[in-house]
A = this chain, B = another copy of it.
């Protein structure tokens, strides 16, 4: 298989991926913003998020900045900013800020030094917890603990579920395909003695039972 074909093919296999912008800053207050599709939930208590990045020798600024400040932000990419978000993956020099280059607006919230993305409707700050080497291909997983969450209140439902579809959060497939979503339903917690039931957006049982 030619290299580029293989890259497209293998990148398509994991299924739909999250679309997030990672905001960082270095000791000289130089900011960086990078789109990533490898943000993954690790656990709720403590609230941990994983992020796969390329080897330290290849990855340029995000990992370096996180190592320096031990802090970063994750910002959902939405329908209004998906093209600007994709543009952050271009190889800019360290002195060229992706915010300036793409028109996305940096925002500073609370005690977090790392920049958020103003246009994002769901964003949170993390403190670095662990950097784990993945020996099989020399990539790393950055593990961070969530410290602050900023989200439009109306999107947070009574049981804690956040309706990210209402925030127009985007999904990615492969390397470069962007998708909006349409909810089929929420489903009740699966039990061995009972078939799954459809839930409303608020996590309440719907009247019709599903199979």
Contact = CB atoms under 8 A, between A and B. Distances in A.
Contact of A160 (B5, B91, B184, B186): B5
A87 interface: yes
Given A174-B162, A181-B179, A169 B15 contact: yes
A86 B124 contact: no
Interface string A183-202: 11111111110011001000
A107 interface: no
Interface of A: 1, 3-20, 37-50, 52, 74, 76-77, 79, 82-83, 86-92, 96, 101, 122, 124, 129-130, 132, 134-137, 139, 141, 143, 145-146, 149, 156-157, 159-162, 164-165, 169-171, 173-192, 195-196, 199, 203, 210-211
Given A15-B77, A16-B169, A90-B190, 6 more contacts: A8-B159, A16-B17, A164-B174, A169-B173, A171-B179, A179-B183
